[in-house]
Structure 1
Amino acid sequence: MKTLDLIGTAVANTFRSKTRTILTVLAIFVGAFTLTLTNGLGTGINAFIDDTVGAIGASDTLTVTKTDADAAASTDPQEYDPDAIASAPQAGPPGTTSAVTALTDGDITALAELPGIARVVPVRAVSIDYVQAAGGDPYVARAGSLVAGQTPQLAAGAAPDVDAAALQVALPDALVVPMGFADADAAVGATVTIAVTDPLRTLHTVEAQVTGVTEDAFGSATALTLNTALEDALSAAQNTGVPVDQQDRYASASATMAAGADADTVKTTLADAGYTGTTVSDQLGTFTAVIDGIVLVLNAFAVIALLAASFGIVNTLLMSVQERTREIGLMKAMGMGSGRVFTLFSLEAVFIGLLGSAIGAVVAIVVGTAVSAQLASTLLSDLPGLQLIAFDPVSIVLTTLAVMAIAFLAGTLPAARAARADPVESLRYE
């Protein structure tokens, strides 16, 4: 019997007992459906994280701080340090804060001279009072820095040029309509006024050109994306009246690694020099690990379902071997070798696995796509660009092949039994 004839016979034999085959296929379907859906969930979330990382910070950029080991995050009384500066609030009991030793211009120069560092830009603490379009009402906003290589997600226009001398800003999409613009495209090219207050409570305004409109993503819905020139202008206005020697105090700096530099090596170099460097991946590492862990647990349940289905394959084929004992004897009496008989029943098992996995994958794609679209327009509408469940063709093919491999292994026992059958005894079987 030729190979194509063997495959055709295996497919035809699969449907001899339709009810039994359908029940077995359904068992495989459950496992394949779950496995495809959970892999799609992991793919969708991780893809969203990867796309959003560029909006938060460039992959080759580290946030550098000069941390005081004796001033760890705590609610306990701490000795006053005149060089300490408050950083972002820390998670924990109310009042928990973290203090870091302020970076100075001398630190910025020293950082730029370290091996593996190509560029260092201090992060200035700019506190914006409001942003206002011509003829519109003022709206509360916060400042967001832009570093070289950062690629914010845009709804319209372009990101501000970090190296441009002109004062440029990107508005968040959430502020476009409230500020009086018809849509995101209408805001591009407009001039807006940004106000800050100095220590004497005197209000200062700076005008900047809107180059683009950013989508919300992980950032604040009211965060303005400033280029370096605008950040410097606002910082200078905000520090009006502050002694010059007190203005060069920064909670952190953005350090861009040199081409080909290894992040771990650079972080070690920074640590040896008394600094701490973290990448965006470091900051999102725990979140990504949790997502991967959840997907792994869900995949484990799917694999358990597939293993349970494999027993159904064994039962289906064992009964098929028993029912076709005389047929097996006849085939062997007519010259079909044991290897061909083994292949025939193995192909039946693989075909059952293919049916279950293919149907499971198709249904999972349909259901997953519909659910993802519904959630994107309702519960997850605040996270534009998120496709909760996304399907990778390579992953789907690998899942299908894995299910077929499990089906093949499950079918080896009945196939081996059929291959070992004695043709004379089989022909006598009643």
Structure 2
Amino acid sequence: MRTADVITSATRNAFRSKLRTTLTVLSLFVGAFTLTLTTALGTGVNDYVSKQVDSISTGDVLVVFPAASTDTTDGPNPYDPDQRQQSSTPNPLGSGVLLDDDDLDEIAAVDGVDRVDPVRPIAVDWVAPSGGSDDERFELEVNPTSSIGRSDLVAGDQLDQASDTAQIVLPEDYVDALGFADADAAIGETVELGYRDATQADLSIDVEIVGIARTSLLATGAGMNQAPTDAIADAQSIPGQPDVYIIAVAFLGGTGPGGEVTPDDVDAVKQQLADVELTGMTVEDQLGVIQTVINGIIGVLSAFSVIALLAASFGIVNTLLMSVQERTREIGLMKAMGMSNGKVFSLFSLEAVVIGFLGSAIGALAAIGLGTGIASALSAGPLADLPGLTILLFDPVNVIAVILVIMLVAFLSGVLPARRAARQDPIDSLRYE
């Protein structure tokens, strides 16, 4: 029997018992469906993270904050007058401990650090059109890490940290609220920020809108350059108290071509910071934390699909063992007519592969159809504030890989029945009743 005849016979024999084959295919369908969806989820998240890194990372800055404490002693810690000051508000990145001027000096002394800009804790109460009424005020959150990289801009330019002009990059959803026709119309306009000083007196400052930013995983809230940040921080600092900072931004100098910052440069600076109990993180590091958590969730979901595939593999074994038993005399006849053990083994192995292909292909196609609809609905609804995120991204390479993996599982499941068929004695098989 030629190879083409073996494939044709295997395909036809797979449907001898339609109900049994259908149930086996459905069991594989569940695993393929789940695995395709979880793979698409991982691809979508990783693609979005990569886009975020490309859009907001400059690659040459580190956010620096005190390293997390590793003290494991029971009970309260002894008082240490030299310890860093605790923050009264949560640190968005660090351990709730503030930096001081000595820390800034240590950061600046690190080889590879060109400049250090401290981020002072500030609180802005509201934003309003310049000269607007109380009814036109809106709450505003300022992103303390706005100087670490670029904003994902809809319109305008990036912040100029060296400028003496007070600048702000507003989130896109403030455009309509503040009465601007569109994002482009807001560029160059002035808005008023309200805040309270150390005596709780109400103050305000005018800032120029230089950019309108999309919402992203990191770039939440508004970004401001150093000029308004320093003015507000000075007003809110308590006289007589030492200067403290929630984080610091270290600008690196590179050893690569043209002064480019290389990964080795970043790692070297991180190690030197660790030696003085400080932690440095890039944009990639921060997004990597989010990515790790999501990948862990995806891994758990994928484990369920693997369990479903294992259960389905027992179904394939059962289906083919019953087929071998029912076709014992047929196997004996084929071997008596000269079919080799290898051909018999191939015939039954291919039956398993056909079943695996049907289950995986149908499951993958169903996942693509349903997942595409779900992704579109989420992008227009709950995930509308994260433009560019396709929560389920079906990469053809990944889909084909899922199908091939399930076909391999099916083939391995069919090895035992196929070996049993190949090793049967033709005389005994022909006598089988």
Is the contact between residue 335 and residue 426 of structure 2 (CA under 8 Å) also seen in structure 1? Answer: yes
Instruction: Specify the code of the residue in structure 2 equivalent to 1:193.
Output: E
Q: Which residue of 1 aligns with 2:108?
A: 112
Query: Which of residues 419, 424, 432 in structure 2 aligns to 1:421?
Result: 424
Instruction: Specify the code of the residue in structure 1 equivalent to 2:100.
Output: L
Q: Which residue of 2 aligns with 1:260?
A: 262
Q: Which residue of 2 aligns with 1:153?
A: 152
Q: Which residue of 2 aligns with 1:251?
A: 246
Is the contact between residue 196 and residue 203 of structure 2 (CA under 8 Å) also seen in structure 1? Answer: yes
Q: Given the superposition, is the C-alpha separation of residues 182 and 401 from structure 1 closer, same or farther in structure 2, using an over 3 Å criterion?
A: same
Q: Which residue of 2 aligns with 1:236?
A: 231
Note the C-alpha offset of 1:16. 2.4
Note the C-alpha offset of 1:179. 0.5
Note the C-alpha offset of 1:25. 0.6
Q: Which whole-Å CA distance do the structure 1 matches of 2:202 and 2:17 have between them?
A: 87
SS of the aligned residue for 1:62 comes to: strand
Q: Which residue of 2 aligns with 1:406?
A: 409
Note the C-alpha offset of 1:194. 3.6
Structure 2 unaligned segments of length 5 or more: list them: 255-260
Is the contact between residue 117 and residue 256 of structure 1 (CA under 8 Å) also seen in structure 2? Answer: yes
Q: Given the superposition, is the C-alpha separation of residues 202 and 30 from structure 1 closer, same or farther in structure 2, using an over 3 Å criterion?
A: closer
* Alignment partner of 1:225 is 2:220: no
* Alignment partner of 1:130 is 2:129: no
Note the C-alpha offset of 1:210. 2.8
Query: Structure 1 stretch 34-43 or stretch 155-164: which is displaced more?
Result: 155-164
Is the contact between residue 196 and residue 238 of structure 1 (CA under 8 Å) also seen in structure 2? Answer: no
Q: Which residue of 2 aligns with 1:11?
A: 11
Q: Which whole-Å CA distance do the structure 2 matches of 1:107 and 1:84 have between them?
A: 12
Note the C-alpha offset of 1:24. 1.0
Compute the TM-score of the two structures, normalised by the length of structure 1: 0.81
Q: Which whole-Å CA distance do the structure 2 matches of 1:415 and 1:64 have between them?
A: 62
Q: Which residue of 2 aligns with 1:98?
A: 96
Query: Structure 1 stretch 333-342 or stretch 279-288: which is displaced more?
Result: 279-288
Q: Given the superposition, is the C-alpha separation of residues 163 and 14 from structure 1 closer, same or farther in structure 2, using an over 3 Å criterion?
A: farther
* Alignment partner of 1:31 is 2:31: yes
SS of the aligned residue for 2:280 comes to: strand
Q: Which whole-Å CA distance do the structure 2 matches of 1:277 and 1:324 have between them?
A: 68
Is the contact between residue 87 and residue 96 of structure 2 (CA under 8 Å) also seen in structure 1? Answer: yes
Q: Which residue of 1 aligns with 2:87?
A: 86
Alignment of 1:234-383 (within 5 A): 234-236=229-231, 239=234, 249-257=244-252, 258=254, 259-262=261-264, 263-280=266-283, 287-383=290-386
Q: Which whole-Å CA distance do the structure 2 matches of 1:397 and 1:300 have between them?
A: 19
Note the C-alpha offset of 1:89. 2.0
- Per-residue displacement from partner, 1:163-212 (whole Å, max 9, x unpaired)? 56654422112211110023334323433334555546373523313322
- Per-residue displacement from partner, 1:267-319 (whole Å, max 9, x unpaired)? 33113234333445655666544433332222222112111111221122222
Q: Given the superposition, is the C-alpha separation of residues 397 and 117 from structure 1 closer, same or farther in structure 2, using an over 3 Å criterion?
A: farther
Q: Which whole-Å CA distance do the structure 1 matches of 2:188 and 2:302 have between them?
A: 49
Q: Given the superposition, is the C-alpha separation of residues 270 and 24 from structure 1 closer, same or farther in structure 2, using an over 3 Å criterion?
A: same
Is the contact between residue 146 and residue 226 of structure 1 (CA under 8 Å) also seen in structure 2? Answer: no
Structure 1 unaligned segments of length 5 or more: list them: 92-96
Q: Which residue of 2 aligns with 1:121?
A: 117
Note the C-alpha offset of 1:407. 0.4
Is the contact between residue 44 and residue 388 of structure 1 (CA under 8 Å) also seen in structure 2? Answer: yes
Is the contact between residue 239 and residue 247 of structure 1 (CA under 8 Å) also seen in structure 2? Answer: no
* Identical amino acids, percent of aligned pairs: 46
Instruction: Specify the code of the residue in structure 2 equivalent to 1:250.
Output: Y
- Per-residue displacement from partner, 1:37-68 (whole Å, max 9, x unpaired)? 22333333444455456778666543223579
SS of the aligned residue for 1:182 comes to: coil
Q: Which whole-Å CA distance do the structure 2 matches of 1:241 and 1:375 have between them?
A: 41
Q: How large is the Cα RMSD of the aligned pairs?
A: 3.8
SS of the aligned residue for 2:212 comes to: strand
Q: Which whole-Å CA distance do the structure 2 matches of 1:69 and 1:318 have between them?
A: 60
Q: Given the superposition, is the C-alpha separation of residues 28 and 90 from structure 1 closer, same or farther in structure 2, using an over 3 Å criterion?
A: same
Q: Which whole-Å CA distance do the structure 2 matches of 1:143 and 1:38 have between them?
A: 35
Q: Which whole-Å CA distance do the structure 2 matches of 1:315 and 1:331 have between them?
A: 22
Q: Given the superposition, is the C-alpha separation of residues 364 and 82 from structure 1 closer, same or farther in structure 2, using an over 3 Å criterion?
A: closer
SS of the aligned residue for 1:205 comes to: strand
Instruction: Specify the code of the residue in structure 2 equivalent to 1:235.
Output: D
Is the contact between residue 215 and residue 385 of structure 2 (CA under 8 Å) also seen in structure 1? Answer: no
SS of the aligned residue for 1:128 comes to: coil
Note the C-alpha offset of 1:385. 4.0
SS of the aligned residue for 1:236 comes to: helix
Query: Structure 1 stretch 413-422 or stretch 167-176: which is displaced more?
Result: 167-176
Q: Which whole-Å CA distance do the structure 1 matches of 2:232 and 2:315 have between them?
A: 75
Q: Which whole-Å CA distance do the structure 1 matches of 2:274 and 2:213 have between them?
A: 37
Compute the TM-score of the two structures, normalised by the length of structure 2: 0.80
Note the C-alpha offset of 1:399. 1.8
Q: Which whole-Å CA distance do the structure 2 matches of 1:187 and 1:204 have between them?
A: 20
Q: Which whole-Å CA distance do the structure 2 matches of 1:36 and 1:319 have between them?
A: 30
Q: Given the superposition, is the C-alpha separation of residues 424 and 85 from structure 1 closer, same or farther in structure 2, using an over 3 Å criterion?
A: closer
Is the contact between residue 187 and residue 210 of structure 2 (CA under 8 Å) also seen in structure 1? Answer: yes
